[in-house]
Structure 1
Amino acid sequence: MIHRYLEYCTYMLRLTDIQLPLDHPEPALKAAILHALGINEQELVSFTIFRRGYDARKKSAIILTYTIDVETTNNEKVLARNAGKPRIGLTPDTSYRFVTHTEQAPEQRPVVIGFGPCGLFAGLILAQMGFRPIILERGKAVRERTKDTWGLWRKRELEPESNVQFGEGGAGTFSDGKLYSQIKDPKHYGRKVLTEFVKAGAPEEIMYVSKPHIGTFRLVKMIEEMRTNIEALGGEIRFQQKVTDIDIQDGQVRGLHVNDGEYIKADHVVLAIGHSARDTFNMVHQRGVYVEAKPFSIGFRIEHPQSIIDQARFGPNAGNEILGAADYKLVHHAKNGRSVYSFCMCPGGTVVAAASEPGRVVTNGMSQYSRNERNANSAIVVGITPEDYPEHPLAGIDLQRKLEELAYEMGGKNYNAPGQLVGDFLAKRASTELGDVIPSYKPGITLCDLAAALPAFAVEAMREAIPAFDKQIKGFAMKDAILTGVETRTSSPIRIKRHDDTLQSLNTKGLYPAGEGAGYAGGILSAAVDGIKIAEAVALDIQQAIKN
């Protein structure tokens, strides 16, 4: 019997690289464990799947790969018997331990600005340590926010403070809900994130599948549960509370002005505002906080029938329940020196309107947990650097706005997005009618020539990359696939630099730049992990101040 649980025993055996056929019967896994360890069934107490992935390089014979944590009647004896075997060792301790705890929160409570994944976990960890944080979110609670977001998709009505970018849960709420990252995580903070998500209602499989995801509808319920948890621990979440100014005295944060009215005293402020809080970026820069431009990417969304991607990736195993809807990750280095890559791939999902400012069009991708919509979509984007926008630290924002305004005009100035068939894009001609692929973007698309929507170097690089991608994913360059513009919010165009040790701003004590908006994360998991790191730094600094 397989026992799955969230916190692992500190003395179990870890068995890696167990390989079994995709269609293996359940008893085969137990048999493989017994064989690998050289034990009989009586010696096996329990085993837990720590990770399950797959190897699809040979489409007709896809292999499942397992990492297993095992408890035997005598772990020490079994380990000694298998000494020298690289696949067998001790299970690392991945349990989370708080760096400190206080029974009485300080008079000036820490303040977290933003309630996306980073602000959520910064607030949660601070609350769990007893510091009763105040969390300020410029948008609305997640259910109200969802209604406002649908207002743009269905009625072409944009609410600037409540949309895909702003509101409880952050931009990740309306996404595929991916929970994997390539960040280095020696302290297993990601494990803490997944554990809290499961406690809040996420499917337990996110603890062991190699590419966990949740989907929008499940994220909504989970975020509400986590908010309730923070409040029960003494934290306070205030919605529709936009920070309009930061009070900085002699290089130290002293307070915040909210909605041009209330003043909140604060010596410890977490700045977790996400990658689209452009007005806040400008305010922070004007107040003298160190800000610099950083690279990001621009491009389009591309849509194919999900069946095309499934067939290209899984061959005869397409549609297998364990494999689910196929994804992809593609990179091409163009002759003009630009890198083109797929980003935020959403299997069985939709392209969504993600604007946060009137008169601008932005695209993003979203999937539900089931990933059962007709189309697959991803961003196909081109990397750009501050050399492309050298005027000042916020010049990347100016470029984003310029491209988003142009997309709004090309779409018809009604929040339609400009679109083009891939075949026409490659042939350098405007599209006039759709083919077999029906675009999912709401409120709708306006067919045109997308070459005018991006700088020439980006269009040139993408026209080279798409046929190259077709060699890896057969059908990627299909003429009826749809491109929708523009994708400009791949990451923050700025970095609010911080010290490596204290995690405070380079020149503003008490200000903790965090998450995607500050340039220190990319995606739900990495942003949440950064929130944990920031919470620990804040808590330790407060405790040190109390001692002094």
Structure 2
Amino acid sequence: MIRLSDLALPLDHTPDALDAAIADRLGVAPERILRKAMVRRGNDARKRGAIKLVYVFDIELDDEAELLARMSGDSHVRPAPDTAYRPPVVAPEGWAGDKDGTRPVVIGAGPCGLLAALILAEMGLKPIIIERGTAVRERTKDTWALWRKHKLSPESNVQFGEGGAGTFSDGKLYSRIKDPRHLSRKVLTEFVKAGAPDDILYEAHPHIGTFRLVTMVISMRETIEALGGEYRFQTRVSDFDIKDGALQGLHLVSTKDGAQSYLPAHHCILAPGHSSRDTFEVLHQRGVFMEAKSFAIGVRIEHPQSWVDKARYGACAGHPVLGAAAYAISHQASNGRAVYSFCMCPGGRVVAATSEEGRVVTNGMSQYSRAEFNANSGLVVTVDPGKDYPADPLAGIEFQRKWESLAFAAGGGDYCAPGQKVGDFLAGRASSGDFGAVKPSYQPGVKLTDLSACLPDYVLDAIREALPVFGRQIPMYDHPDVIMTGVETRTSSPLRITRGKDFQSLNTRGLYPAGEGAGYAGGILSAAVDGIKVAEALAVEVLK
């Protein structure tokens, strides 16, 4: 097949116009086109009055060699790449474990663990999946209990449980990772098989939304179980049995009744997510090599979605093909800090995302429709080990906890979040009274106050400098009534569990750190791709 890229058409073009444009661009008669498949659809909104849709297509022709020879100088006409997924190894039929009968273990059922378990199961390795939280439907009820009733379940919440933190997010499925093997295509294809909309295969910025993610996760679990995989929910790894630099087994504890057990294991994918602080502490105690890394903290900022749509799309705002507009902005502050938008959620809401009692954490979420009133995004500032807190691997966790605890107190001590209007924030005064033109979406609720009580001065200074800059880029961004809600601290893992070229821990054989919690991904898609890579490495090691 031929891949044709950078094909631009007007926003309101007809299907016939698309077929004609493809034929014209390739210089062929329409009847020579036997089949076409959309690979990507994005938009070029640089000229808001003349927004164009930009396509990539894979096209089957009757004589592809002739066309490739004729258009050899055109960088937008090339042979279509082979995106089929092929596992590196497959277990022999009837495989029941390695030499002493142990099976691969996957710790964590988020995007990384889910795809790792699926790949292992498809290769015939029958993984055991350990998840400290509950299955996704029960987890949804537990999460809503915090949002509606101020009741936190420390083991089943936005961070912990089947589906991982990505379940309660915008479900964004794009990243900037290098992907020469097209593993992201494997991820998206599996998601579609599990019930995701087909458009994630071609939209430039695909997303799913929470409700669809829930049903997808259940479907993928059923597939893994049908292939011999085994789930153990409400089970936390309390300790790691490591001898002579090699993993021997896992000590487990039930998060439901406290029952303890031991699971022999020599090959374990560690994908616990970025909030498994107790797991990191145990690994550190056992001498598993890890190092501190940079992350970012700040607030969630909310605007009416209509403001963002108008700023980005002008007169085309509200067009059904364009949907809710998104943005990505950044600024290098004079104090040396990078300020940037993070995890932007069009047409969504700010959600309570803590996993520890007595702390407030914010995140963003939206459904597939992105139809809610507000847009929200993290507005965050980089922080660095050795500069803002000690360079000890666990120091970043304590740094996060400090500001989360202060946010809990500033919000009133009942999981309400502290909030401040931008006009007051820029003027250096506390907010009070009514919310004004922008109503916050965070539940259990927002208490207007002064965010300086729960963020470092250098973060506050950088955000104050950046807001007017962003307001010039996106009109109304720094409107006085815009709401900022604190605090956003879990942008990424504050540490990395370092691994070698074989994907195993640098000093612990059999332990395969993976995904966002181990410091190797940032988002659903990149975490899932990392899960595939690590599963392949483990399988090669087990079956060699």
Range into which the TM-score falls when normalised by the shorter chain: over 0.9
Aligned residues: 532
Q: Aligned-pair distance for 1:26?
A: 1.2
Instruction: State the match for 2:516 in structure 1.
Output: 516
User: In structure 1, what residue type is equivalent to 2:194?
Assistant: A
Percent identity between the aligned chains?
A: 63
CA RMSD of aligned residues (A): 0.7
Instruction: State the match for 1:225 in structure 2.
Output: 219
- Contact residue 292 and residue 391 of structure 2 kept, 8 A: no
Instruction: State the match for 1:38 in structure 2.
Output: 27
Q: Aligned-pair distance for 1:261?
A: 1.6
Instruction: State the match for 2:141 in structure 1.
Output: 147
Instruction: State the match for 1:127 in structure 2.
Output: 121
Instruction: State the match for 1:326 in structure 2.
Output: 325
SS at match of 1:230: helix
Bigger shift: 66-75 or 195-204?
66-75
Q: Within 2, Cα distance between the matches of 1:537 and 1:166?
A: 26
Q: Within 2, Cα distance between the matches of 1:381 and 1:184?
A: 25
- Cα-to-partner distance string for 1:363-388 (whole Å, 9 max, x where unaligned): 00000000000000000000011021
Q: Aligned-pair distance for 1:82?
A: 2.1
SS at match of 2:368: coil
Q: Aligned-pair distance for 1:44?
A: 1.1
Instruction: State the match for 1:55 in structure 2.
Output: 44
Bigger shift: 187-196 or 38-47?
38-47
**Matching of residue 386 in structure 1 with residue 377 in structure 2:** no
Instruction: State the match for 1:16 in structure 2.
Output: 5
Q: Aligned-pair distance for 1:391?
A: 5.2
Instruction: State the match for 2:481 in structure 1.
Output: 480
**Matching of residue 188 in structure 1 with residue 198 in structure 2:** no
Q: Aligned-pair distance for 1:100?
A: 0.5
**Matching of residue 340 in structure 1 with residue 339 in structure 2:** yes
1:399-548 counterparts in 2 under 5 A? 399-433=399-433, 434-499=435-500, 501-544=501-544
SS at match of 1:420: strand
Q: Within 2, Cα distance between the matches of 1:342 and 1:209?
A: 21
SS at match of 1:202: coil
Q: Aligned-pair distance for 1:79?
A: 1.9
User: In structure 1, what residue type is equivalent to 2:241?
Assistant: D
Instruction: State the match for 2:270 in structure 1.
Output: 271
- Cα-to-partner distance string for 1:202-232 (whole Å, 9 max, x where unaligned): 0000000100000000000000000000000
SS at match of 2:235: coil
User: Could you tell me which of 78, 92, 104 is aligned with 1:89?
Assistant: 78
TM-score by length of 2: 0.97
Q: Within 2, Cα distance between the matches of 1:152 and 1:83?
A: 59
Q: Within 1, Cα distance between the matches of 2:466 and 2:21?
A: 43
Q: Within 1, Cα distance between the matches of 2:30 and 2:51?
A: 28
User: In structure 2, what residue type is equivalent to 1:187?
Assistant: R
- Contact residue 115 and residue 528 of structure 2 kept, 8 A: yes
Q: Within 1, Cα distance between the matches of 2:252 and 2:116?
A: 20
- Cα-to-partner distance string for 1:395-418 (whole Å, 9 max, x where unaligned): 000010000000000000010000
Q: Within 1, Cα distance between the matches of 2:235 and 2:111?
A: 18
**Dislocated runs of 4+, deviation >3 Å:** none
Instruction: State the match for 1:168 in structure 2.
Output: 162
Q: Within 2, Cα distance between the matches of 1:274 and 1:135?
A: 14
User: In structure 2, what residue type is equivalent to 1:244?
Assistant: S
SS at match of 2:364: strand
Q: Within 2, Cα distance between the matches of 1:290 and 1:320?
A: 51
SS at match of 1:471: helix
**Matching of residue 77 in structure 1 with residue 78 in structure 2:** no
Q: Within 2, Cα distance between the matches of 1:117 and 1:503?
A: 18
Cα distance change of structure 1 residues 391 and 184 upon mapping to structure 2, 3 Å threshold = closer
- Cα-to-partner distance string for 1:62-84 (whole Å, 9 max, x where unaligned): 01111111111121222223222
Q: Within 2, Cα distance between the matches of 1:43 and 1:376?
A: 45
- Contact residue 147 and residue 352 of structure 2 kept, 8 A: yes
SS at match of 1:348: strand
Q: Aligned-pair distance for 1:453?
A: 1.3
User: In structure 1, what residue type is equivalent to 2:371?
Assistant: N
TM-score by length of 1: 0.96
1:311-322 counterparts in 2 under 5 A? 311-322=310-321
Instruction: State the match for 2:256 in structure 1.
Output: none
Instruction: State the match for 2:297 in structure 1.
Output: 298
- Cα-to-partner distance string for 1:403-449 (whole Å, 9 max, x where unaligned): 00000000000100000101110111111121111100000011101
Q: Aligned-pair distance for 1:291?
A: 1.1
SS at match of 1:378: strand
Give the gaps of 5 or more residues in structure 1.
Answer: 1-11
Q: Within 2, Cα distance between the matches of 1:54 and 1:92?
A: 23
- Contact residue 110 and residue 166 of structure 2 kept, 8 A: yes
Give the gaps of 5 or more residues in structure 2.
Answer: 254-258
SS at match of 2:223: helix
User: In structure 1, what residue type is equivalent to 2:494?
Assistant: P
User: In structure 2, what residue type is equivalent to 1:366?
Assistant: M
